[in-house]
Amino acid sequence: MPPAAASSSEAVGTVGDRAARPAESAPALAPSSLLPRPAEGGGIETLAKFDRFLGGDETVGAASAPTSADSASATLASSASPASPPEGSAPVRPPETAEPAAEPRPIAPRPPPLAVDVPKRLADPLMLVQTSGTPLVEFLQLFSDLSTIPITLEPDALALVRLTPLSPVSIDASATTVGGALTSALRSLGLEAVTVEDQLVVRVIEPETLRTIEYPTKDLADDEAGREALAQLLQAVVEPSSWGEEQGQGSITVPANKAVLTIRQRQAVHAALFIACEKLRVARGKPPASTRYDAALFSLTSRSTRAAEKLQQRVTANFRQPTRLVTILRRLGEFSGLTILVDWQDIASLGWNPQAEASIVFDNQPLEDALDALLGPMDLAWRVVDAQTLQVVSPQRLATQGELEVYPVGPLVGDDPQGQQLLARVQATLGEETFVEAGGVGVVRYDPVGRCLLAWLPQPKQRQLEEGLQRWRAAQDAAPATDRRP
């Protein structure tokens, strides 16, 4: 989602070799400070010319007056009191390609490429870093701005360590480095930052070797044959490509005379497996096995449906001058109550980095339409992570990344014990090319005990499936009892 422009009254500095720009307002934190450690010879290390400090107004580098482009106004309002764009104004459109054009130009201009020496930036010294309760996503944005390293937060497995992007970060360290402070803060949360090319990816800590966990199955399978069937189901609908005999791939063992599945997998896949098993219990009318987690995590309501109300909120916003994408997204997130993350690692191949800018005007549009209008011209897309979180991704990732949803379908199955007619109907609706058998990523299985579909599909296909199920239920409810069929 789009973040907002900085006001002309904000401090000005430089980031890397870019021209001076107004800094975004720092998060309101108390007490908090972030000071550069004195460099040898008495000078101050500017940490890649970071232009603002956590919780303060200090700047690094020479200040200069903001340009008209940097002092763009930005407003957000609800539909009850929309802040309309100035009379006679029109949304800013990207410049047209010059004629004749030697090569096609991107619809939205890309920022200059970043050349970041990640080890060097992580070794930059910090004299003192203190904060108590800074939201994780803001903390990472701060360190990204500080170091100039693009930082991506992987959100999907955070539930395993009972975190969200808004979980508070606390750190009090002195005579350290950027990397040392980041590692210390993240490790206390069960997270780690790993270097991927010239970026950092923050994720749940992955052990060096695959982790083996025993999953209790007493309430999911009656005997060894049932456990074998459960193992096959989980391998089909949870990260199907992650299983196999090759090094680094996961496996499931069914021990004899023991009501467990022994699963060897990456930590992130264990998170998905844990949620899948709990959702299967809920679908079968059983309580979740774990009492440590919020039961809402195992709801059978799809993530798109859970976020729908917030995505329908209407927004009016005026970003007429080029404004950092992260600022626009942050402002839209503040308005809607959603956290909007960006997968910089994913969209780097499309030419985007955290210095990306956009210009756009919204006038009383639903938030999801505003996001499409903002990101579409940038050749970007967005996905729902959960009821509170969205993520900006590439269209390719949106179209190919599978995720699991569980749909109760009892009335649609009728007296077909294995749900074969419904499965055929689903395949015809989504298209054969969607499924693994035809080279796609999709898998849909029917669980006769829970009378539910377990669907591993990319999010656009999940929405298509859910809409189809809703239409079929409505048609079935409207039909005379004698004409009803699965």
| CA nearest neighbour of 347 among 311, 384, 303, 382 | 382
Instruction: Tell me: pLDDT of 95 over 50.
Output: no
Number of other CB atoms surrounding residue 474 within 10 Å: 10
pLDDT of residue 448: 96
Whole-number Å distance between alpha carbons of 141 and 149: 10
Average pLDDT over residues 300-317: 96
**pLDDT tens profile 15-38:** 223 333 333 333 333 333 343 333
Q: Any alpha helices (H) in 27-76, and if so which ranges? A: none
Count Cα atoms within 13 angstroms, Cβ side, for 144: 23
Q: What angle do CA 83, 363, 111 make, to 5 degrees?
A: 105
Structure tokens at 325: 């994408």
Whole-number Å distance between alpha carbons of 200 and 317: 31
Beta-bridge partners for 357: 324
Number of other CB atoms surrounding residue 269 within 10 Å: 19
pLDDT of residue 36: 38
* Higher per-residue pLDDT: 94 or 162: 162
Structure tokens at 12: 């000005």
Measured in degrees and rounded to the nearest 5, phi and psi for residue 57 equal -110, 10
Instruction: Tell me: pLDDT of 66 over 60.
Output: no
pLDDT of residue 415: 87
pLDDT of residue 480: 74
Q: Helix 267-283 to helix 224-237 angle, to the nearest 10 degrees?
A: 120
| CA nearest neighbour of 371 among 413, 336, 400 | 336
pLDDT band at 231 (very low <50, low <70, confident <90, very high): very high
Measured in degrees and rounded to the nearest 5, phi and psi for residue 134 equal -70, 130
pLDDT band at 486 (very low <50, low <70, confident <90, very high): low
Average pLDDT over residues 366-374: 96
Structure tokens at 152: 């991506």
| CA nearest neighbour of 408 among 477, 486, 466, 481 | 466
Number of other CB atoms surrounding residue 460 within 10 Å: 14
Burial of 329 (0-12, 13-18, 19+ CB in 10 A): buried
What is the C-alpha R_g of the chain?
25
pLDDT band at 479 (very low <50, low <70, confident <90, very high): confident
Average pLDDT over residues 409-418: 91
SS3 content of the chain, % helix, strand, coil (to 5): 35, 25, 40
pLDDT band at 279 (very low <50, low <70, confident <90, very high): very high
**pLDDT tens profile 192-207:** 999 999 999 999 999 9
Instruction: Tell me: pLDDT of 355 over 80.
Output: yes
Whole-number Å distance between alpha carbons of 155 and 430: 27
Query: Picking from 26-40, 99-113, 204-218, 357-371, which range would have the lowest pLDDT averaged per residue?
Result: 26-40
pLDDT band at 41 (very low <50, low <70, confident <90, very high): very low
Quickly tell me which residue has 């609908």 as its tokens: 237
Query: Picking from 230-239, 286-295, 400-409, 423-432, which range would have the lowest pLDDT averaged per residue?
Result: 286-295
Q: Which residues of 381-411 are buried (b: 16+ CB within 10 A; e: fewer)?
A: bbbbbbbbbbbbbbeebbeebbbbbbbebee
**pLDDT tens profile 169-191:** 999 999 999 999 999 999 999 99
* Higher per-residue pLDDT: 321 or 7: 321
pLDDT of residue 108: 79
Whole-number Å distance between alpha carbons of 143 and 122: 10
pLDDT of residue 107: 61
DSSP secondary structure, 119-140, as one string:
HHHHT-EEEEEEEEEEEHHHHH
**Average pLDDT over all residues of the chain:** 82
Structure tokens at 105: 């130009």
pLDDT of residue 483: 56
211 within 8 A of 270, measured Cβ to Cβ: yes
Instruction: Tell me: pLDDT of 134 over 80.
Output: yes
CA dihedral 153, 155, 160, 164 (to 10 degrees): 90
Side-by-side strand order, sheet with 260-265 = 211-216, 260-265, 251-253
Q: What angle do CA 152, 330, 17 make, to 5 degrees?
A: 65
**pLDDT tens profile 328-352:** 999 999 999 999 999 999 999 999 9
Structure tokens at 282: 């809920």
| Residues near 187 by beta carbon (within 8 Å), at least 6 away in sequence | 205
| Residues near 326 by beta carbon (within 8 Å), at least 6 away in sequence | 3, 141, 342, 354, 356
Q: Cα dihedral sign for 324, 329, 335, 341?
A: negative
pLDDT of residue 414: 86
In this structure, the strands spanning 381-386 and 402-408 are unpaired
| CA nearest neighbour of 339 among 353, 355, 326 | 326
The beta strand positions in 57-178, using DSSP E, are: 76-77, 125-135, 151-153, 168-177
8 within 8 A of 333, measured Cβ to Cβ: no
Instruction: Tell me: pLDDT of 413 over 60.
Output: yes
Whole-number Å distance between alpha carbons of 34 and 32: 7
